[in-house]
Amino acid sequence: MKLQKATQYGLYAVLELARDPSHQLSATHIADIYGISSNHLAKVLRDLGRAGLVNSVRGAGGGYRFSGNSKRTTLMDVINIFEEIGSDSTAAADPGDATDIGCALLLVLGEIDDIVPVIADVDCVVLPSYREGLSRSLLEAAAVGRPIVTTNVPGCADVVDNEVTGFLCESRNAVSLERQLLRFISLSPEKREAMGKAARKKIEAQFSEAHVIREYIGAIADAADSDRKFAMKLRSD
């Protein structure tokens, strides 16, 4: 997803203001942090105000204060204010892209043509999902040989052998997730590497293209055999 400039500015503003909802910042102060236009940012802040995410503070030392729910407001809440999801935006690079937060947003929201080097650059892949069909991101992580920390729910647990290729935590349980992340962090480099290799072997054995094709053919053969037996029973009756 290539974000429009207004969306990027909105994300910068919300991230800065949400750090401390009791603190107020001016548009100029936020703009200086990211090297962007304060006039353009002021317009974006007005849109954020209409959406109920920021309040304008009047009087001496006025500015803006975050008014949303800092525990529930997501990046997509901000994006949906400015973007028509599914549109093909070709916005040019912005100075704020070079900041730490700008780089992080581009990594999370930008388009990635080759995911392998991104996964290979991390120690493990974490997906605290409530439920999946079958998580493609976890399949990709294991295929690259990276351990996984994810929830013990359908579509995630199918990809992980607990304590062998990664760690499973309870769904909707932040304490359980924290516990499993700390367990992974405490592993030695050798154990992390062994866990990643085990993840790769599991993918090759259970989720390779050849294995999936064999399973499909087997299922089709079983269904055809059941139909044949049913037809023979009808004729005999």
Q: What is the pLDDT at residue 236?
A: 77
Q: What is the pLDDT at residue 85?
A: 57
Q: What is the pLDDT at residue 30?
A: 94
Q: What is the pLDDT at residue 182?
A: 97
Q: Which architecture does CATH list for 5-109? A: Orthogonal Bundle (1.10)
Sequence letter at residue 230: F
Q: What is the pLDDT at residue 101?
A: 78
Q: What is the pLDDT at residue 176?
A: 97
The string over 98-120, giving b where at least 16 C-beta atoms fall within 10 Å of a residue's C-beta and e elsewhere, is ebebbeebbeebeeeeeeeeebe
Q: Where are the domains of the chain?
A: 5-109, 116-206
Report, as ranges of residue numbers, the positions in the chain whose pLDDT lies below 70. Answer: 1-2, 59-61, 85-95, 108-110, 237
What's the pTM?
0.56
Q: What is the pLDDT at residue 191?
A: 97
Of 175, 174, 197, 178, which is closest to residue 186 (Cα–Cα)?
Answer: 178
Topology of the domain comprising 116-206:
Rossmann fold (3.40.50)
Residue 14 and residue 36: Cα distance in Å, rounded? 15
